[in-house]
Amino acid sequence: MLKQFFIKNGHIVDPSQGINSTGEIFIENGKIKSVKVSKSQSVKDSDTKKVIDAEGLYVFPGFVDMHTHLREPGFQHKETIRTGTLAAIKGGFTSVCPMPNTNPVNDNEAVTEFILRKNYSEGSCYIFPIGAVTKGQRGEELAEMWMMKKAGCVAFSDDGMPVMNSLIMRRALGYSKIFDVPIISHCEDINLSDKGVMNEGKLSTLLGLKGVPCASEDIMVARDIMLSELTGGRLHIAHVSTKGSVRLIRDAKERGIRVTAETCPHYFSITEAAVKDYNTNAKVNPPLRRDEDIEAIKEALKDGTIDVIATDHAPHHTDEKMLEFDRAPSGISGLETALGLSLRLVEEGILTIEGLIGKISLNPSKILGLEKGTLKAGADADITIVDMKKEHKVEAERFESMGKNTPFEGWVLKGRTVMTICKGNIFEIS
């Protein structure tokens, strides 16, 4: 670890302090010691301390992904904590929150401790685990949420396996309220989805694939908002994909209900058309939707209805994705394309750069109660340096992630992480 160093000449954007200008950051012992935006106080080149010259680059608080699948324990053929956190670093993420659908499920403190220990020895970034809401994610009996919270879990979710029983969901929201952590809901009425594999509509009919109607998501968003209202528990809606969800969340926020929401880059970048050649790399749950959903999601990102951009990084083995569309697992490997895809929103004028950094760093930290997403003095030196002009072609074979499953193969994205600073290490990204 470098004990002391400066980052100078970079354009610093830190919504937590309202900073959007050129300046310098002084780092000491892995912590931010000071941030100066006035050029007059600039460090001299002759200074003996190491200087990272960020001329022409943007300097952001490290990104925080509140929805990641790291697959360990149990599915190390898809991803490990080592490879998943390296993928995070490459994408500019300094903290990730792994979902509990591992094997065994992270539904007790022993698994939580295993994940944290493993990350301590093998991980490159910080991990804040998300524990299961119910034992084995079976939706029948609440897991030991308090014990998991004490062990380090920052939220609870049965992601991938919606909690279908409303009484259990009511209890989860009521119980988690006591220790003020959010319940992250994968909103899907499993019965209505009825093993569908893509968005329901004309295209699913043409392709002969079973569809999932938007109502499958919307119904559960509505239910969970009602249960949040009933219990006063904090609800966070995962991976919003429909305009119906947007409408319900907007209305709930207006009524003062304690709900927050996230979407993922694939839900504002591509439609169901991406699966038309039976491309299993575009198979994801919830499924890719229609243009009108993309428009609604963009509007929701703009007006604050959607607080967070999360990756839902869901790596799968290439052999699994090579199965027939019906049988291939759902998921997109997202950590290494999230920034480039999200910066398109800035280019389109949907978000300002501060707005984007808020959604990818500060807001998830606030929702989860993490001391992250800021460059304030005293904070961990989690810093992402980005070349906003650098174009790069998405080539899954070059991902750090073991999951090569991306529907964005061959896309040329503008804006790339060139350096990530985390846990006292400086990662230069080529």
Give the footprint of ligand DOR on this chain (CB under 6 A): 69, 101, 159-160, 186, 284-285, 314, 329-331
* Residue number with CB closer to ligand DOR (182 or 329): 329
Longest dimension (CA), the chain: 68
* Residue number with CB closer to ligand DOR (69 or 416): 69
| Exposure class string for 73-87: b at 16+ Cβ within 10 A, else e | bebbebbbbbbbbbb
Supply φ then ψ for residue 203, to 5 degrees.
Answer: -65, -40
Q: How far is the CB of 282 from ligand DOR (least distance, A)?
A: 11
* Residue number with CB closer to ligand DOR (29 or 103): 103
Cβ atoms of 80 and 86 within 8 Å: the answer is no
Packing angle between helix 291-303 and helix 243-254, nearest 10 degrees?
20
* Residue number with CB closer to ligand DOR (9 or 311): 311
Which residue is listed with tokens 């904070």?
A: 379
Q: How far is the CB of 411 from ligand DOR (least distance, A)?
A: 19
* Residue number with CB closer to ligand DOR (157 or 384): 157
204: tokens are 């699913």
Separation of alpha carbons 67 and 313, rounded Å: 7
* Residue number with CB closer to ligand DOR (91 or 403): 403
Q: How far is the CB of 300 from ligand DOR (least distance, A)?
A: 20
Q: How far is the CB of 285 from ligand DOR (least distance, A)?
A: 4
Separation of alpha carbons 394 and 407, rounded Å: 10
Separation of alpha carbons 52 and 9, rounded Å: 9
Q: How far is the CB of 221 from ligand DOR (least distance, A)?
A: 15
* Residue number with CB closer to ligand DOR (160 or 211): 160
Q: How far is the CB of 420 from ligand DOR (least distance, A)?
A: 24
Q: How far is the CB of 26 from ligand DOR (least distance, A)?
A: 40
CA 326, chain centre distance (Å)? 26
Cis peptide before 104 (omega within 30 of 0): yes
Q: How far is the CB of 284 from ligand DOR (least distance, A)?
A: 4
> Strand pairing partners for 96?
65, 127
Separation of alpha carbons 47 and 280, rounded Å: 54
Separation of alpha carbons 133 and 172, rounded Å: 7
Q: How far is the CB of 316 from ligand DOR (least distance, A)?
A: 6
* Residue number with CB closer to ligand DOR (270 or 385): 270
Separation of alpha carbons 388 and 241, rounded Å: 27
* Residue number with CB closer to ligand DOR (241 or 361): 241
Q: Which residues are catalytic?
A: 312
